[in-house]
Structure 1
Amino acid sequence: METHEVFKIKDIQSPLMHEYSKGDVYSLHGKSRGKVFIINNTFKDTKLERTGSDVDVKNLTDLFQQLQFEVVTGTNLPAEKMVRFLEEERDNITTWTDIDCVVLILMSHGEGPYIYGNDEIPIKLTDIIEVFASNYCDGLKDKPRLVFVQACRTVKRTDEELSKLSVKFKKQQIQPKTGDQRDSAPYQTENLTEVKHPSADFLVVYATPEGTLSYRNVHTGSWFLCAVVWIFKYHAKHEELQHLLIRVNRLVAKGKGSVEFGQKLTISEVKSNLRKKFYFFPGVYGDPPKLFEK
């Protein structure tokens, strides 16, 4: 996997290219597709150390750079700083027209709907993900936001107990900067019955279903993120995202935990609020070929 680059689309008559200019496919055609934010809490030098997560960071960085994303990584962040780091990076984006998509990858220990900062303080996953909700970030309206969560989701304490321990946040909407323009597509009159929910255009993929463990190999990284990198590298050129994630799920399900963990199996889990099809279009830049224009 590490010796092969992401496969490019060379044949403009590829079936997915026929959908490139349609309104039911997200626009992803810039030289830079957007940003990938990776938060990797390793809990280094503690009994909770997540050995092997650095392999995931390397593999993910290689993958998304080849898919034409800029990758920004935050390592060993306390719970509160996880949100502040993302807010600062978000607010530093000066030209939203250059952002077709945002990818958020969270790697840490977790419990139920919470994920842990490197200070071992829990924070609700929704508080992190909502940093990129359209009601807080107008520049991301109608654009896809992909979230990958590598963390266990077992429940040892009640939601009330976790809530008391977790940090709380007040979020503010950021205003478009001078000279910014609305999204990628030209303005079109929309159906007045269409509701633009702030959580629309999100896809969240968990390494494991709620209430279960996720697994990580100290040499090769986590099962889930390894599967994401492998499948995306070899199949992103010709399959839509939901189909890619079916492949990811099938690959994750083939793993078996060590004897220490009872040789348990797991699968990944997808929650999607996407409103269009999503293709990475590796190797395709600029406007759709005129051959396929309506």
Structure 2
Amino acid sequence: MNIWNTTSDFILLGLFNYTEAHLFLFVMILTIAFSSLVGNALMILLIHQDFQLHTPMYFLLSQLSLMDMMLISTIVPKMAADYLSGKKSISPAGCGLQIFFFITLEGSECFLLASMSYDRYVAVCHPLRYPVLMSWQLCLRMTVGSWSLGAADGLMQAAATLSFPFCGAHEINHFFCEAPTLVRLACADTFVFEYVMYICCVLMLLVPFSLILISYSLILAVVLQMRSREARKKAFATCSSHLTVVGLFYGAAIFIYMRPKSYRSANHDKVVSAFYTIFTPVLNPIIYSLRNSEVKGALRKCMGQCATINHE
């Protein structure tokens, strides 16, 4: 058997062919990716500039926007360069970096969304004790913990994946280096690694998701007991944005990583991966801005300041 180790380049087959329809889709994805970068950067700027948004809730939201910007920057530039140049090779080091950053950002976002659900639980269920139960110190610890757990998982999976010898067929049927896709090319017994990787994915997805479900079950119980219709409406509006983001993120991630092998299709995986690496990041700032009066107020204030500067 022709053994090809990690001293040679991988070939990314990509997401698109060179047809008019695929060219249109490629331009659309570039437009969405650019919109995502602008929208998330604007969200970070608004949170930084407006003192009314200097709260743990919006700090966590700024970290979510930062993760989405980094995710887009990890995937899209390489995909676009490969499509435009026709050169689809990627070095083992570049592949390892993509795996590391991708898993780090996805894992960190799992735990960050759980932290955001705890923040909403405290805000709705214990509003008077919010400064104590959701202090800045705890907020920073949760943020650092989210990044650290994601980075640890990313480093482990990237190093383990590239430690295998690879066969002569070194083509990756994907538009970026993803550990499960790359492992299929290995010329070694990967059962133990795949089993451990599956357990890691389950833990990284289900543990935070369980915490989110518990938080929102408690929130729902409290909201239903509120006598004020206005208070119930405000609580639902505050939490619905986060629940929408959670549903989009976890729905796609669970579909990719928790399906049995027999139900997996490379084309389906690529489409779903494109959804949660490119489309979901552009939805997050839209969801949070359209359904959040404080963010809309900060945006109006920022636009007013810009208009004033232009008139001077």
TM-score, normalized by length of structure 1? Answer: 0.27
Higher strand residue share: 1
The structure number with the bigger radius of gyration is 2
